[in-house]
Amino acid sequence: MSESLSIYSSIPFVVLLLLIALMPLALPKFWDKNKNKAIATAIVSLPILIYLLLNFKVELVHNIKDYISFIILLASLFIVSGGILMKGDLRATPAVNAIFLAIGAVIANVIGTTGASMLLIRPLLKTNSERKFTAHIPVFFIFLVSNIGGCLTPLGDPPLFLGYLRGVPFTWTLTLWPEWLVLLVIILIVFYIWDKMAYARESKESLVRDIESIEPLGVSGKINFLFLA
């Protein structure tokens, strides 16, 4: 279907992006209401929807089925992982943070990037709550756990799941493990060096609070692991 669509069919999408970028600045009170956002999105989307229904009805229905499967996977991982709470406060050293990211990148292939992100972001932020220079940590978390980590299985990354639905063998993505490992190691090294420099800037008071606040990791909502399986 993409080969038959005119370049002009992308105009509604471009307009929508412009609305998202400009409306908060031009009409902040209007754009602050979700109802107005929904109305604007519907108005912009309606022309292309009518065009697709008139010219590509069969292809549109097929793509909607794939999209529904995609959303169901995302929603289930988000909801179930949100029911698992990892509690605790480890010492926020660069090594501990790097281990957090490495573990997240691995389990993202089993429970998905969404599931791994929901599961680990809270204890990671809690662990680093006593430190001041931590703005880089969520950024690397997004790189490694929320994106790169899940590239080895269709369960790991929802776009790969779409590929699986369209006939890509389930185990094909496992052949990417050398590239995955190299990229993982490189980014972890960069993160460790960055976090090491940030850790050296922390005040003694922050480091003392970090040590005094240590709390063993614990998990509540374990029943949800069965649903993830």
pLDDT digits (tens, 9 = 90+) for 113-151: 888 888 899 999 999 999 999 999 999 999 999 999 889
49 and 101 in a single domain? The answer is: no
How far is it, in rounded angstroms, from Cα 157 to Cα 145?
A: 11
91 and 65 in a single domain? The answer is: no
65 and 92 in a single domain? The answer is: no
User: What would the two tokens of residue 104 be?
Assistant: 């997240």
23-78 pLDDT, tens per residue?
999 988 999 999 999 999 999 989 888 888 888 888 888 888 878 877 887 787 77
20 and 115 in a single domain? The answer is: no
Q: Which residues pair with 15 in a beta bridge?
A: none
Do the domain assignments include residue 206? yes
User: What would the two tokens of residue 132 be?
Assistant: 């001041």
pLDDT at 86 over 80: yes
Letter for the amino acid at 183? L
**What single-letter DSSP state applies at residue 33?**
S
Q: How many residues does the chain have?
A: 229
183 and 110 in a single domain? The answer is: yes
How far is it, in rounded angstroms, from Cα 26 to Cα 19?
A: 10
> Which SS3 state, helix, strand or coil, does residue 86 take?
strand
Domain boundary, last residue among 52, 79, 106: 79
166 and 114 in a single domain? The answer is: yes
181 and 101 in a single domain? The answer is: yes
Task: Please give the residue range of the domain that contains residue 28.
Answer: 7-79
132 and 203 in a single domain? The answer is: yes
75 and 88 in a single domain? The answer is: no
Cβ neighbors of 220 (< 8 A, separation 6 or more) are 84, 85, 87
pLDDT reported for residue 189: 97
What predicted TM-score, i.e. pTM, was given to this entire model? Answer: 0.74
Domain boundary, last residue among 39, 60, 79: 79
Higher pLDDT pick, 35 / 219: 35
